[in-house]
Amino acid sequence: MAKTILIVDDSSSLRTVVKLALQRAGYEVQEAGDGQEALSRLEQLAKVHLIVSDVNMPNMDGITFVKQLKQHPRHKFAPVVMLTTEGQDAKKEQGRAAGAKAWIVKPFNPPQLLDAVSKLVLP
């Protein structure tokens, strides 16, 4: 059974690039356009093995989303990879404090993302 990964990003083109890379690697992919939509999608999923999230999004940013995710009883242990244009150390620290496990700065290459995913995805 394929492992499920949720992509959270307000850019549909970026979601498509990430989705294709993950699907080619054998993952099942779900999508959300911001943190609020992601929390709603998680209510519909029995298990998510990993989340890839942007930081800068409308409605609910990625760091707020991660903080709220960590309060969710069913999904609080899902590892989060932040995929963002933000590269400042202070922002990375905010992400780590919220519960993010990895930080990849855009532009990125798919092998870099797949390497992080393969190391963090839940069994």
pLDDT digits (tens, 9 = 90+) for 77-101: 999 999 999 899 999 999 999 999 9
What confidence score (pLDDT) does residue 1 get?
Answer: 76
Residues 6+ apart with CB under 8 A from 50: 3, 5, 6, 78, 79, 80, 81, 117, 120, 121, 122
- Residue 55's CATH number: 3.40.50.2300
CA distances for 79 relative to 6, 12, 13, 100, angstroms: 11, 22, 23, 7
3-state secondary structure of 100: coil
Tokens matching residue 60: 């609910």
Task: Give the pLDDT score at 123.
Answer: 87
Please answer whether residues 52 and 5 qualify as being in contact, where contact means their C-beta atoms are separated by less than 8 angstroms.
yes
- Residues of the chain short of pLDDT 70, as ranges, are none
Question: How many domains, in total, are found in the chain?
Answer: 1
Full residue range of the structural domain in which residue 51 is found: 4-120
Return the beta strands (E) in 1-123 as ranges.
4-8, 28-32, 50-53, 80-84, 102-105
